[in-house]
Amino acid sequence: MKIMTKVPEVQEYVKKLKKRGNTIGFVPTMGYLHEGHISLVEKAAAETQKVIVSIFVNPTQFGPNEDFGKYPRNEKRDLKMLKATKKVSCVFMPDRAEMYADDFATYVNMENYMTGILEGASRPGHFRGVTTVVAKLLNIVQPDKLFLGQKDFQQAAILTQMVKDMNYPASVVICPTVREKDGLAMSSRNTYLSEAERQEALIIFKSLQMAESMIELGEHDAEAVLKEIRRKIKEANVEIDYVEAFDAITLKKVDKFTEKSVIAIAAMVGKTRLIDNTIIEIKI
């Protein structure tokens, strides 16, 4: 497993891989890896011949009052986890100066409603940072396939649109959310939670399970389901940022659950902001 920190060395390495006829799978991360990230690596290894993982805590996607400074980092642990898979060919670990030179001035900004709702509404400028860094990474790595997680559903949808709009020669593969045994969606931010908060956080998953049950029993009115989710979360004294239902492709709000919809939740557990979602599929 090669470890690289400079853009030119990654580009040269990729050039050699492609010259030998290898297909490349790419998994972008911000480090502090967990089994969710490893599942993306496993999927990439199953579908491509060489897997490249990036570890970079991207400063441009954090707002001024967000947790960039305290975002968990443990590069030694991350590398150990990736090496243990025996499926990663290269890890790209640039520093801030390598990705954003002092004279950096070009950003990728998606100008449609997708970036202004949900996470975009709560975190202004967040998606400009996400699209910019992933665009840069795609240019550097030149992968055949980009592997993303369903937990960040809106982000995955936006990046899928960006790949299409910008004609990147890569396909996007969205992989299922990986959960702890009790159902909590795996997240690097889970490390912020105290033991008590960790238990409180389960209400997010439990409310999604409740919603799935309501829909299976025939309740297809979106607001009726969302109302019950909000009630359940508030009863647990967890602060809600948003609870929304939207179309899985367009991200536009739905009044009735359609063939493929998504229910997404963002909530504050203590001082930690957590997100989760579930895909609703109804046979029509």
Which are the catalytic amino acids? Answer: 37
Task: Kindly state the helix (H) or strand (E) to which residue 28 belongs, with its residue range.
Answer: strand 24-29
Torsions phi, psi for 93 (to 5 deg): -125, 75
Collapsed DSSP state (helix, strand, coil) of residue 264: strand
As a three-state string, the secondary structure of 177-207 is CCECCCCCECCHHHHHCCHHHHHHCHHHHHH
**Side chain identity at residue 55, one-letter code:** I
Amino acid at 230: R
Name the residue among 21, 93, 14, 19 with its Cα closest to residue 53: 93
DSSP state of 246: E
219 contact partners, CB below 8 Å, separation of at least 6: 225
C-alpha dist (Å) from residue 5 to 31, 69, 98, 116 = 14, 21, 8, 33
CA angle in degrees (0–180, nearest 5) for 154-158-164:
150
CA distances 29 to 8, 205, 268, 281, Å, are 20, 23, 23, 29
